[in-house]
Structure 1
Amino acid sequence: MREQSRLRLRSLSAAAAVAVAALTAGVLAPPAASAAPAVGRPDTVQRGLDALVRDDGLPAALASAKDRTGRTRTYTAGVGDLATGAKVPGDGQVRIGSNTKTFTAVVALQLVGEGKVDLDADVDSYLPGLVRGDGIDGRHITVRQLLQHTSGLPEYEGYISESEIRSRYYEPRDILDIAFQHKADFAPGARFAYSSTNYVLVGLIVQKVTGRPIAEEIGRRVLQPLGLRHTYFPTAGDRTVREAHPKGYYRESAAEPLRDITELDPSVAWAAGQMVSTNADLNQFFAALLAGRLLPAAQLAQMRTTVPIGNSGAGYGLGLISRPLSCGGVYWGHGGDIPGYETRGGATDDGRAVNIAVTTVPTDEAVTAHLEDVVDTALCR
């Protein structure tokens, strides 16, 4: 489930870890948890964030929670900069990793509603001859299978080192060259297997159909209509986080020190995970999506038609994940990982929404489970 719901580099080599050490100096230790939320008195959400810092060793955690009435509260724990001890900015910007996939999927489904893209057309209809390899043939993979991770296309992420993430700019075709060196995982449509390669291709289809960059289409079709002023798709060469933000940290194993990886080149994630946002903006985005403000009813229904993610109880639609709630029902969102940040959250059909970010990708799956428990608590309290 961990690998099926986030963007992260897997199986980095020892050489990559040495490269990280050479690029960052000093050993950084996580701080004690903060004593109070950014707004209001301590509650179960605040206690959950404090535990993520105190017990799980995360540098910082920050959250935004919206109830059915629209009342929103923000929370922080830990520190935003381990070197200086600076506070975590309330609702600071973070890299949102694979939450980007939902933005990309919304644009693609808007084009479906406009009659410009057919979900059941093959990929070659839009990108002729591009998708080829060992067991890989774009003539037998549909757009729907890309969006739902049932294409069988291999994942590229584990073949890119930490040092390359920091400094190298990738074109989408560079990413596909890496992916298509490897054999297909299974025949198209046979099952679900998460692969960011799918969303690189969705981004290219959007660009082919519209004649415009995916960043511009996301901005014009999603960010501007919803007024998401703190969300953006970084431009080529933009390695920084533009507004107030907690620093992001990286380590390959729990035995290693945390090292600053805030500045990196996110182009390796592109339409699958390049964007920057805030918890509050993500809440607004997912709530608006479920409320039908971004897609016609037919396309939203398609988006919410899921396949099982293993035996987790979660389901993957077209760029949208449903997860069960302990208090009954489900919530809809995505989640994302990119070196330095992990995000989890989503919204319910009755208007509740919560998103939480932490400032390192946990090396222990149990810590991510704790993070998801805090999301559940926030939505069920």
Structure 2
Amino acid sequence: MGNAREAVIIGAGVGGLAAANALYRTGWRVTVLERADALRPIGAGIAMPPNAMHALDAVDADGMTLGARVRAVGVSSGAIGARRPDGRWIFRPSGDPVGRRFGYPVYSLVRTELLAVFAGQLPGDAIRLDTTAQVADPGAADQRARVETTDGRVFEADLVVAADGGRSAVRRTLFPDHPGPADGGYVIWWMLAPSLGEEEEVLASESMGKGTVWGTWALNDGRVYAYATVLKELLATGNGQADDPLSQLRAHFAGWYPQVQRILDAVDPASVYRDDARWMQTPLPAYHLGRVALLGDAAHPMTPDLGQGGSQSIEDAVVLAKLLAEADGDVSALASYTAARLPRTMDIVKRSKRMSAFHHASTPAGIFLRNQALRLSSSERTVGLFLRSFDPVFGWKP
């Protein structure tokens, strides 16, 4: 690869490392700049739906697709059920209807394992940690882009991929007049707990109460990945609870069914991450400027109600690399990247926000209608019709 074009990726999260892999496998020399001193992901676990797996299967990693490498460390969820706060099933999972319809089930895994798979397929010197970077010049057709770091280093590149998250500094630099993400209206927690023991089955499920969702997923090493979302107006913040995520969670979920309590009692406090939901209410005018491409949450943050944040960043990465390869590396292909990704991702941003209102119903009538809709749409007779509505999301292939 002595004459390979050079790409600088800002951010070593899911999208950044996926882009590094996709570009590297199509002939680019890649440098990933990450401000943290370790691959420290936001969120404890991640659910990988079928569209993410199909995207990763398009990236060859030494005779084995990147998707196959991810599946080797993940665990298939099978069907995903729904419960009430008292533990009664709205519908109980059985079989694998998602896998049958879309080719893959939803896989769950620890985010650090996912990043380790991605990082492990890159050259040893590709990732540079403890490096905060910003775009100093986005470049042009006849001029390379320039990236500068806070410690004075300068990188010139044929391509810059901004994968620096929902609070993207690069996005603000490229589009300073854009308002940025809007408040999603609720708070999110992600966490890990040790195994609850062989005698207790952990089924992939989401439990729904008033303005509240609790998610539980088994991991391949026996641990439990859990997450919670709660409307902001329902959260108690007294006695320092806002500064103590576990205390706030335990207070809010007091009285929920026993497995929730056992998970909260066992959670590793170091694994807990809390954030506000955000979504890109106002679309960006483009996902590129000059030689810079925005990717993932830097371009289109979304609420997690469809589990598509990481998946859309992976799709972005694969499409970007594919279009550049077809154009023999000519960055004029970035216009095609915007054309391919902006409509799809903004459709999913809006779908996720609509699903958020459904998930976080907070009136008695709204809760009743939500639970009835879930029960009826996910019965053995109607699950195929229900899943058909997700074809535009989960059915995507590169």
Q: Which has the larger radius of gyration?
A: 2
Larger RCO, structures 1/2 (Cα 8 Å, 6+ apart) = 1
TM category, shorter: under 0.3
Larger relative strand fraction: 2
Normalising by structure 1, report the TM-score: 0.26
